[in-house]
Amino acid sequence: MHTPDFSQENIAKLAELFPGCVTESRNGDGTMRKAIDFDQLRQEMSDHVVEGPQERYHLNWPGKREALLAANAPIAKTLRPCREESIEFDTTKNLFIEGDNLDALKLLQETYLNKVKMIYIDPPYNTGNDFVYDDDFAQDSGGYFERSYQRNDTGQRLVANTESNGRFHSDWLSMMSSRLRLARTLLGEDGMLFISIDDNENAALRLLCDEIFGHDNFVDTIVWKKRYGGGAKEKFLVALHEYTLVYAKSKTSLANLYIPLDEASIRRYYKSKDEHYARRGPYRTHPLEGMKSFDIRENLKFPITAPNGDEIWPKRQWRWGPERVARALAESEIEFSQDKNGDWVLSSKQYLKDEDGIVRMTKPFTIIDDVYTQHGTNEMVTIFGNAKVFGFPKPSKLMSQLLTIGLNGEQDAIVLDFFAGSATTAHAVMALNAEDGGTRQYILVQLPEACDENSEAHKAGFVNIAEIGKERIRRVGKKLKEDAGLNGAELDIGFRVLKVDTSNMKDVYYRPDEATPELLGGLVDNIKDDRSDEDLLFQVLLDWGVDLSLSITKETIGGKTVYFVDEDAMAACFASGINEEFVVQLAKRKPLRAVFRDAGYGGDDVKINVEQIFKQLSPGTEVKTL
């Protein structure tokens, strides 16, 4: 008869927004209860590192607060399109982002918030030489903003996270923490995260994901048997497996997971036929007798009449009740047979197809043991003629199985991979689309980490890892299109290359306090001199949160080039000499958004008149000026 515990209700509300701020504390009577880590909550709300040495149950490491600061701090960067490296740039729905994935995840926040169905990443396993990080990662907010706004010309130094580094595990956790926090916000409520990892950081990664996603949103661990033998050089046990941790954005919003039955399972189990074969296909049987693990229910103990009139009683109880059995008997869905002693054995029939002719689905298993690392190596040989251009690539068949689980039947969904590597994810997405006619989209992010000059990749002409991924997509897409023939006419094998770069706006735009008369003399135009119209277009798409994969067409109106995004979602013109006559023609097209360059107006009066013209001819248009 107590009133509600509002403190616990408030904690539950905060847990939805900041799962990492929920911890455990002990009451005066020694019992445990949920509590808020107020130091952590303050850090979520702060633009500087908050000190708080209070002891509590949580995962901690040196640099954790800096990682949270890095995740929350703004950046002054943009995505610049690279048409010459893209395929089907104007129409493709796929994106390949080249640059630091921390920056890329921040730039995607506005556009893809809650829109991604599945995230898969194969991050560095932290073996001592397999990943690079920002050497100046731990710094105060002033230092971070200095790097973000490009105040100096020294750049950022990338170093290997070697065993000699005293913060070996801590730096890896910091690197992963900031990125996973940003990734979580991109997932839809029914979205799922898949992370490949091995034993080196599996335990720490599990704790980190529990903190960021909440322990209750842990789905399961998939064990991948990556090889079938070998291990002559192993000192102890021969490691045959890796893991894939699976988390949901919200398990309460996640539907039951099903995958299609594979052909081998169909041939193995569905062998019997009856009068329903034409409509429902072959069937398999299951004992109608209830298993010993079932709770005893008296209503499941009743006789069933055999074809010869015998009354058949269960030894313990049936799996089905009287009404369900009656329906099954009427539909001939119960099979009668006799064992060697002449006793009746009753089995229920499970058909391959349901009443509507849809092939039965099955639950996915936590073990994948039919695809190996060698398959990924063989794929690289087939694609490039050289397996060593990229070490230990994940097989596309493995990725296809994870996609089938994570997408849960959706054929029109967004898949994000921000440790793209050799672009296995893109390979698998295109292959699935070619197989079933789906329109799944991928967003890949890859750091242009330089290939060693003595490596096979460099000898093959690849300057950095991102180049390997892009070339793989080109070759795989072409092959899939050829193999599909006429059925591949609608297959999207293109990708739009976008590169993380500094803002298109001149630096004084962010630091007016540093302006000098000499500097201001060259600022009649606030756009950097080396930026193109398409650079500005994509900055506007980011600022407005418009889908970066929408189609782009270019038209000439009144002698000026106008970009139309998704026909009428946006009209952008960055030409000079904008006048009222031109604006009238554009306003009659009634775009949802219109954008112009500040220096493009013929005069201040034109800038004022533009808004009035749109209010009169297209009041629903939102007008923006760069």
The 3-state secondary structure of 368-415, one letter per residue: ECCCCHHHHHHHHHHHHCCHHHCCCCCCHHHHHHHHHHHHCCCCCCEE
Q: Please check whether residue 140 lies inside any domain of the structure.
A: no
Instruction: List, in order, residues 6 or more apart from 54 with CB less than 8 Å away.
Output: 39
User: What's the burial of 233, exposed, middle or buried (CB within 10 Å: 0-12/13-18/19+)?
Assistant: exposed
For residue 161, what pLDDT band results from cuts at 50, 70 and 90?
low
Comparing CA positions, the residue from 464, 457, 479 lying closest to residue 396 is 479
H helices then E strands: how many in the chain? 20, 26
Predicted pLDDT of residue 128: 65
- Rounded (5°) CA angle 249-255-259: 110
Residue type present at position 275: E
Q: Residue 8 pLDDT > 50, yes or no? A: yes
- Asked whether residue 611 falls in the same domain as residue 537, the answer is yes
- 313 and 390 assigned to the same domain: no
Question: Residue 498: is its pLDDT beyond 80?
Answer: yes
Would you say residue 285 has pLDDT above 80? yes
pLDDT reading at 171 higher than 90: no
Give yes or no for a contact between 195 and 209, defined as CB atoms under 8 angstroms apart: yes
Asked, for residue 406, whether it belongs to a domain, the answer is yes
Q: What DSSP string describes 197-241? A: E-TTTHHHHHHHHHHHH-GGGEEEEEEEE--SS--TT-SSS---E
pLDDT score of 381: 95
Last residue of a domain, one of 295, 330, 356: 356
Q: What is the 3-state secondary structure (H, E, C) of 497-510?
A: EEEEEECCECHHHC
- Going from the C-alpha of 310 to that of each of 146, 313, 315, 380, the distances in angstroms are 87, 10, 15, 64
Which helix (H) or strand (E) segment is 351 a member of?
strand 344-351
Tell whether 346 and 377 lie within a shared domain: no
Are the CB atoms for 19 and 213 separated by under 8 Å? yes
DSSP per residue, 533-545: HHHHHHHHHHHHT
Residues 492, 447 share a domain: yes
Q: Percentage of residues in the chain with pLDDT exceeding 90?
A: 66
Tell me the two tokens of residue 161.
């996270």
pLDDT at 516 over 90: no
Q: Do 373 and 441 sit in the same domain of this protein?
A: yes
Tell me: do 439 and 537 sit in the same domain: no
Helix axes 424-436, 396-407, angle to 10 degrees: 70
Q: End of a domain among 338, 356, 374?
A: 356
Q: How far apart are CA 603 and CA 579, in angstroms?
A: 8
DSSP codes, 522-535? T-SS-B-TT--HHH
Query: Which of helix, strand or coil describes residue 180?
Result: helix
Using the predicted structure, report yes or no on whether residue 473 has a pLDDT greater than 80.
yes
Element (H, E) at 518: helix 517-520
Whether the Cβ atoms of residue 244 and residue 194 lie closer than 8 Å to each other:
yes
The answer to whether residue 264 sits within a structural domain is: no
Task: Verify that 113 and 187 share a domain, yes or no.
Answer: yes
Of residues 62 and 220, more confidence is placed in 220
Q: Which of 337, 356, 375 is the C-terminal boundary of a domain?
A: 356
Structure tokens at 547: 């889908």
Same-domain pairing of 331 and 414: no
* Residue 77 belongs to some domain of the structure: no
Residues 337-346: b if buried by 16+ CB within 10 A, e if exposed: eeeeeeebeb
pLDDT for 189: 96
Mean local confidence (pLDDT), 507-521: 56
540-562 residue pLDDT tens = 999 999 999 999 999 999 999 99
Q: By the 8 A CB rule, do 347 and 285 touch?
A: yes
pLDDT band at residue 62 using 50, 70 and 90 as cut-offs: confident
43 vs 430, more confident: 430
Say yes or no to pLDDT of 290 above 90.
Answer: no
- Exposed / middle / buried, residue 530 (Cβ in 10 Å: 0-12, 13-18, 19+): exposed
Of 404, 398, 378, which is closest to residue 390 (Cα–Cα)? 378
Q: Where are the beta strands (DSSP E) in 122-213?
A: 132-134, 158-160, 187-197
Model pLDDT for residues 80-95, shown as the tens digit of each residue? 999 999 999 999 999 9
Among 41, 57, 66, 20, CA closest to 212 = 20
Six-digit token string for 307 = 């074809």
Confirm whether 266 is domain-assigned.
no
CA distance 572 to 560: 11
Q: Cα 320 to the chain's mean position, in Å? A: 42
Is the pLDDT at 174 greater than 70, yes or no? yes
Is residue 308 predicted with pLDDT exceeding 80? yes
Q: Which domain holds residue 34?
A: 6-58
Same-domain pairing of 422 and 473: yes
Q: What is the mean pLDDT of residues 452-472?
A: 94
If one counts the domains in the chain, the total is: 4
Q: What is the CATH number of the domain that holds 178?
A: 3.40.50.150
Higher-confidence position of 551 and 135: 551
Are 87 and 24 in the same domain?
Answer: no
Residue at 144 is within a domain = no
**Residue recorded with tokens 């399109």:** 81
Residue from 26, 23, 27, 51 nearest 39 by CA = 51
Check residue 307 and report its DSSP letter: T
Q: Answer yes or no: is 518 within a domain.
A: no
Q: What is the mean pLDDT of residues 380-406?
A: 94
Based on the fold, state whether residues 120 and 230 are members of the same structural domain.
yes
Residue whose token pair is 């309460």: 252
Residue 63 lies in a domain: no
Positive/negative CA dihedral, 462, 467, 471, 472 = positive
Q: Which of 238-247, 290-299, 305-314 has the lowest mean pLDDT?
A: 290-299
- Angle, CA 545 vertex, CA 544 and CA 549 arms, to 5°: 120
Indicate the pTM of the whole model: 0.85
582 & 564 share domain: yes
- In whole angstroms, what is the distance from residue 63 CA to residue 172 CA? 10
CA-based nearest residue to 492, from 444, 534, 442: 442
Q: Which helix (H) or strand (E) holds 556?
A: strand 552-557
- The tally of CA atoms less than 13 A away on the side-chain side of residue 471 is 16
- The CA distance from 430 to 96, in Å, is 14
Q: What angle do CA 84, 495, 109 make, to 5 degrees?
A: 110
pLDDT band at 77 (very low <50, low <70, confident <90, very high): very high
Q: What span, in angstroms and rounded, lies between the C-alpha atoms of 318 and 299? A: 9
Average pLDDT of the residues of the chain: 88
The candidate with the shortest Cα–Cα distance to 118, out of 467, 428, 449, is 428
